Amino acid sequence: MAVEALPGLVVAMVANFCWVALDQPGTRGVERLLCTRRTRLGKSGQTICVGDRVRVDGVDWAQARGAVAVLEPRQSLLNRPAVANVSLVVVVVALAEPTLDPLQLTRFLITAESTGQPVLLVFSKADCLPMAEVEAWRTRAAAWGYPALVISSQSGMGLGALSSRLAEPGIAVLCGPSGVGKSSLLNGLRPELTLRVGAVSGRLQRGRHTTRHVELFSMAPGALVADTPGFNRPQLPGDPAELSALFPELRQCLSQGSCRFSNCLHQGDPGCVVGTAWDRYGLYSQCLADVIAEAERQSRSPGRPELPGLRQRGGRLEPRLDPSLRQGSRKRQRQEEMSEDS
């Protein structure tokens, strides 16, 4: 008689293996299994991420080993870092050491917004700047649409407020550049974790990678948080038309009125209701230029179709004109008039 596959949650990925926390302890009280992936999952293109709900079979209870046989449908997915079924994305950036880069921060916020889940912005290392500068950053972030938490792992400032947010049911993921103190924050909230931390490079002012893999940690019953490896250049969406929806201040503006042209890219063109008098206009323009440049590069690849709403012209991409606004051919109009007369 076939044994029913056991349900569980992927709580860590290490090389080609994953740790699965079982919903119910098994033989000998085993709660976690080190698992491989069944070949049929790979052949069907299914990848396993931390946060996935899975079913495990072929269990060796003595060795605490098994194999993931079934991957349950996901509710959401953060591509980088790869975490499934995320309910809160926490973007952590340092106010100093390394110096805060508004463009890099914006790219991280875009990545977080693309999940469609709530986003929480956390400013770490608040003890490294005068309080006036800290408050200036918090005020600026609020204008972007992010009421930020200000944290210091050294003094404990803001840890209580962050702990309350992370104790809410679901999976929260900490993401941000290397060296901003994500692991230090978790150590401050859960000292028993003793996660490895490292200093920022003095010469490059970049964080050193201390977290090597994605892992979930329990913060409260039903509440998990993912510590993730840092990286310094988040991806942008592939379609320029999708970018505006990932800026809260743009979403709010567009909810109150529409641009003259439906394919407006909000660069201050006539008929654009957004304009250029907003703080992140320059950052938005830089991100848009990067997206368009990548789209142009992809369009030059053989067999790549043009993106919807864009056309190739003069070696670059530009918005297509709305068909309702396009002027008809005079030659065709004369031909139609002649056929009607005859």
3-class SS string, 311-342: EEECCEEEECCCHHHCCCCHHHHHHHHHHHHC
In whole angstroms, give the CA distance from residue 292 to residue 302: 18
Please give the CATH superfamily to which domain 78-227 belongs. Answer: P-loop containing nucleotide triphosphate hydrolases (3.40.50.300)
Q: pLDDT value at position 5?
A: 85
pLDDT digits (tens, 9 = 90+) for 312-341: 554 445 555 555 555 556 666 666 666 666
In whole angstroms, give the CA distance from residue 162 to residue 159: 5
Q: pLDDT value at position 43?
A: 81
35's enclosing H/E stretch is strand 32-37
Q: pLDDT value at position 200?
A: 45
Phi, psi at residue 23, to the nearest 5°?
A: -65, -35
Q: Which of 60, 51, 58, 66 is nearest to 9 (CA)?
A: 51
Q: pLDDT value at position 319?
A: 57
Question: Do strands 6-14 and 53-60 pair parallel, antiparallel, or not at all (unpaired)?
Answer: antiparallel
Q: pLDDT value at position 188?
A: 79
Per-residue pLDDT in tens (0 to 9) along the chain, 342 residues:
346 789 999 999 887 888 999 999 888 889 999 999 888 887 888 889 999 999 999 899 999 999 999 999 998 888 877 889 999 999 999 998 878 899 999 999 998 898 889 999 999 888 888 999 999 999 999 999 999 999 887 888 888 898 899 999 999 988 888 777 777 788 878 777 766 554 444 443 443 444 457 888 888 889 999 877 755 667 788 888 889 999 999 999 888 888 888 888 998 888 888 888 899 999 999 999 999 888 888 776 655 555 555 555 544 455 555 555 555 566 666 666 666 665
Residues written for the chain: 342
pLDDT digits (tens, 9 = 90+) for 170-198: 999 888 887 777 777 888 787 777 665 54
- The CATH number for 6-73, chosen from 3.40.30.10, 3.90.1490.10, 3.40.50.970, 2.40.50.140, is 2.40.50.140
Q: pLDDT value at position 213?
A: 73
* Strands (DSSP E) found in 162-315: 170-175, 215-220, 223-227, 310-313
Q: Where are the domains of the chain?
A: 6-73, 78-227, 240-318
Q: pLDDT value at position 149?
A: 93
Q: How far is CA 184 from CA 92, 135, 224, 252, in A?
A: 11, 22, 17, 35
Q: pLDDT value at position 327?
A: 56
Q: pLDDT value at position 295?
A: 80
- For residue 159, the SS3 value is helix
Q: pLDDT value at position 201?
A: 41
In whole angstroms, give the CA distance from residue 145 to residue 138: 11
In whole angstroms, give the CA distance from residue 20 to residue 13: 9
CB 56 within 8 A of CB 69: yes
